[in-house]
Amino acid sequence: MREYSHSQLEKYETCPLQYKFVYVDRLRRYEEGVEAFLGSRFHETMQFLYKEREFRVVPLEELLAFYEKAWADKWHAAVRIRKEGRTADEYRLLGRRCVEDYYRRHHPFDEGHVLGLERMIRFPLDAEGRYGFKGVIDRLMRAPDGAFEIHDYKASGTLPEQSKFDTDRQLAVYQVGVQKLWPEAGDREVRLIWHYVAFGMEMRSSRTPEQLEELKENTMRLIDRVGAEAEFAPTPGALCDWCSYWDICPEKKHLVKVGGLPENEWENEPGVRIVDAYAERWRKRRALEEEKEVVDKELEKLREAAVAFAEKEDVQVIAGSDAKLRVAGKEKIISPAKGTAEREALESALRALGVWDEVATLDTFALERALAEGRWSGETLERLRTFVAAEKRWTVTLKED
């Protein structure tokens, strides 16, 4: 049984190629975003606070000293600050404010019994044990009313809307694990709680048994997709700025290569020359297409005028100074659009009349998309792939800076 974690699956969903670099190729990169560094120091500070709570309430000054020492001791040269103009000290002070705000909101930290801090859990998602899952719960609590609480600290500078928490996979899957490992939790309310410490807010959600079953099914399907993945295509997006693999990513590595070149070498670099020439001709074509669009609109108006003239004069050929227009009309059958009620009624009628097989065809586009997305089970995908061939087709798209 191979185990997966939420972070693994999330990385695959964000960018399959980055997933491959990290979990398949095992390429270690020692860069760390300052946001992740801050989050780790906050987690360590909370672990110290609640671990000591069994014996005493740590004074705020001592807790802040712990945070400051952890920051200083673990700071390293590979911590990267992506936001232009920001400094390490600004992030350190931001983390310090988060610790202070949290302390004042939750003091004296007697909201229940701590069952685990940074607790690693491992459990199967299915009865047969084919799908393993693992994760680390920041803080597992039992509240005074007997409910189990799964707490997660977030140092993010963005606060999602409630719908995000009501569909979040991470803590909900942890709930599945908690109820497997501690059966009593299956008979109790389980609360999912996110602490967005930069905002001083707690976001809460819960799941019904039916929602948890659906979650398990969706997660197992995703694991099947990951296991069957062969292409691991890059998925460029906003999170690329926090990726450490630009130098080997096909989306970014040429940018890295030419980014450090002097201007005279940049202009003569083969790839730059190709793109510049392509862009020049693409812009020229775009100008022609814009002109064509204007002409097409004029032609459409003239076409309508020609049809009206031909109908009025009962002619099929209209003479001009140095050209002629032939105007011919022909009836065309138009079927209802796919997905409409009229289309469904038509298909039902064709089946009832016994002529469906004469007009039905395979939607190859829908089939190819389903195979590419790994939409079905592994066995189904393997069987269907024996009927199709894979062909690499190239597209070249200009993106202007």
Last residue of a domain, one of 309, 326, 343: 326
Q: What is the pLDDT of residue 397?
A: 53
Instruction: Report the percent of the chain where pLDDT is more than 90.
Output: 72
Look at residue 159 and tell me if it is in a domain: yes
pLDDT for 131 equals 96
283 Cβ neighbours under 8 A, 6+ residues apart? none
CB pairs under 8 A, 24+ apart, for 245-248? 245/17, 245/18, 245/21, 245/27, 245/29, 248/21, 248/27
Q: In CATH, what number is assigned to the domain containing residue 139?
A: 3.90.320.10
**Is there a single domain that holds both residue 274 and residue 216?**
no
Do residues 117 and 47 make contact, with C-beta atoms less than 8 angstroms apart? yes
Q: Distance between CA 136 and CA 152 in Å, rounded?
A: 10
Residues 281 and 199 in one domain: no
Say whether both 126 and 224 belong to one domain: yes
Give yes or no: residues 289 and 222 share one domain: no
Are residue 221 and residue 303 in the same domain, yes or no?
no
In a domain, 267, yes or no: yes
pTM check: above 0.85? no
Residue 48 counted as domain residue: no
Tens of pLDDT, residues 62-105: 999 999 999 999 999 999 998 999 999 999 999 999 999 999 99
pLDDT confidence of residue 393: 62
218 domain-assigned? yes
Tell me whether residue 310 is in a domain: yes
Residue 236 lies in a domain: no
288 in the same domain as 221: no
Same-domain check for residues 211 and 130: yes
Q: What is the DSSP string of 176-189?
A: HHHHHHSGGGGGS-
Residue 184's alpha-carbon distances to 40, 137, 143, 178, 190, in angstroms, are: 31, 18, 13, 9, 11
Residues in the chain, pLDDT under 70: 333, 384, 388, 390-401
Domain total of the chain? 2
* The predicted structure's pLDDT at residue 392: 58
Considering the domain architecture, whether residues 195 and 273 belong to the same structural domain is answered as no
Q: Which of 229, 251, 278 corresponds to the end of one domain? A: 229
Dihedral sign for Cα atoms in the order 243, 244, 247, 250: negative
pLDDT value of position 398: 46
Q: Are both 160 and 216 inside the same structural domain? A: yes
In a shared domain, residues 157 and 222: yes
Say if 197 falls within a structural domain: yes
Does residue 270 share a domain with residue 222? no
Please give the torsion angle defined by the CA atoms of residues 18, 19, 21 and 26, in that order, rounded to the nearest 10 degrees: 150
Domain of 141, in residue numbers: 117-229
95 within a domain of the structure (yes/no)? no
Q: Are 177 and 271 within one domain?
A: no
